[in-house]
Amino acid sequence: MSHRHLPVRPNLDQLKQQAKDLLRQIRSQDPAALEDFKQHYSGKVSPSDARLSDAQLILARSYDAPSWPRLVLACKLIDGIWLDDLELVRKILLKHPRLLHEEALVRKNSNWGPPMSYAANLGRDRIIEMLNAMGARDHEGALERATLQSQIGTARKLHAMMHSPRLRPDVLDGPAYTLSVSGTALLFELGARVEDDQGKSLAPVATVLETDSRKPEAKHRILEMYVQHGLKLPDTPTMALHRGRIDLLEEHLRRDPQMLRRTFRFEEIYPPELGCHDEVLATHGTPLAGATLLHMCVDYDEMEIARWLLDRGMPVDVKASVDADGFGGHTALFATVVSQPNLWMNRSGRPATAPVTQLLLDHGADANVRASLRKQLHPGYGEEILREFRDVTPLSYGESFQRKEFVNEAALRLIVEHGGHA
């Protein structure tokens, strides 16, 4: 592995052990370790003669740090911020003042920012006040991180520290990504706008729709806040679902009795006029392009709307459209097996549950329906391969999906209990 990413809170003891393991791998001619050696070491020592200090340097550079001591400093500084250890952070920065303006996590693409922004993520107000007195300059970034993390008191403090300036046009982006209702509400209180003086939209609706976060009620409230502050959203069934508005869906159904069988193009689910433009960047599990409202309910965790659709007579096995290459035609049951909510459930460590799968099966969903699907995950998940799943059942689809963190094992068990097979 030639390039690594520090976790948000790196563990120095683990890094020390990682360096020892890397040294052993280099000496044993492990191909990946030799690639690290080739890419990150410029000395004259051969792999067989490498020392621990060489492995530490290679490891540090693979984490974007120029040296092992710099990586150690990053770990100690971050640990001090997490522990709210004012004196430790002060001591490190007085000895190494340049760190005040460098990325706390060292890596070039870190979004946690320099120490003040990093501290804002955690609501470490005492440390923020000290960093401000020491000359920190990343107040805007810190404000964004505080609202993104729902650190409302910290965000207020930072805004006052900046002498209450006019907010940046894109300031709503952070809490839109995490679906922070309190962060969004605070920014509106402080003067955020949904349109500029020329009427151009500033509201990050695309971020709200495409984020990997899954908090249905928060998403609904944020979209309604945008509307309350003057934004006009499309009057479509898909947007009504995004907003959690069953009353609007009722009206659409009254006007279009075929709505329950309709499939929707990607552009209808993710409107380009709101900033959406790329299917891969719209984070979801089983493909939604050409899907129905029931498919959308599964990936957006809209259980109440799913029940409403079925109660109104939506066929439980209604299929997504099939594209020109023969992919699609999957039912909503496929989406319960591979979905974005599954990712968060699996990462939480909670026991797997599958209420939507149960709901669909209780309504007679076919456990052995077949379809062909193809899926490319968001690049943030570390791969950019378009994978194909031909003539699969819901069970074989889940068993063959490449990233098991998106797969709901409880859903697979329920499908088997209802006679499903590969």
pLDDT tens string 345-368: 999 988 999 999 999 999 999 999
Three-state DSSP class for residue 374: strand
Is the pLDDT score of 384 beyond 90? no
List of residues 6+ apart from 119 with CB closer than 8 A:
81, 127, 128, 131, 142
List of residues 6+ apart from 338 with CB closer than 8 A:
285, 286, 375, 397, 398, 401, 406, 407, 408
Closest by CA to 307, choosing from 224, 268, 249, is 249
Average pLDDT over residues 379-398: 92
Instruction: State the Cα–Cα distance between residues 176 and 105, nearest whole angstrom.
Output: 23
pLDDT tens string 322-334: 999 999 999 999 9
Mean of pLDDT over the chain: 96
pLDDT tens string 262-287: 999 999 999 999 999 888 999 999 99
105-114, 392-401, 413-422: the lowest-pLDDT one: 105-114
pLDDT tens string 157-205: 999 999 999 999 999 999 999 999 999 999 999 999 999 988 889 999 9
Is the pLDDT score of 253 beyond 90? yes
Band (pLDDT 50/70/90 cuts) for residue 2 is: low
The predicted model scores a pTM of: 0.92
Is the pLDDT score of 1 beyond 70? no
Average pLDDT over residues 40-52: 91
Instruction: State the Cα–Cα distance between residues 351 and 361, nearest whole angstrom.
Output: 20
Which residue segments constitute the domains of the chain, with CATH numbers given? 12-63 (no CATH), 71-189+224-229 (1.25.40.20), 237-418 (1.25.40.20)
pLDDT tens string 22-41: 999 999 999 999 999 999 99
CB atoms within 10 A of CB 318: 18
The DSSP result for 199-258, as a single string, is S-B---HHHHHH-S---HHHHHHHHHHHHHTTPPPP-SHHHHHHHT-HHHHHHHHHH-GG
Band (pLDDT 50/70/90 cuts) for residue 301 is: very high
Average pLDDT over residues 371-383: 90
Instruction: State the Cα–Cα distance between residues 99 and 117, nearest whole angstrom.
Output: 13
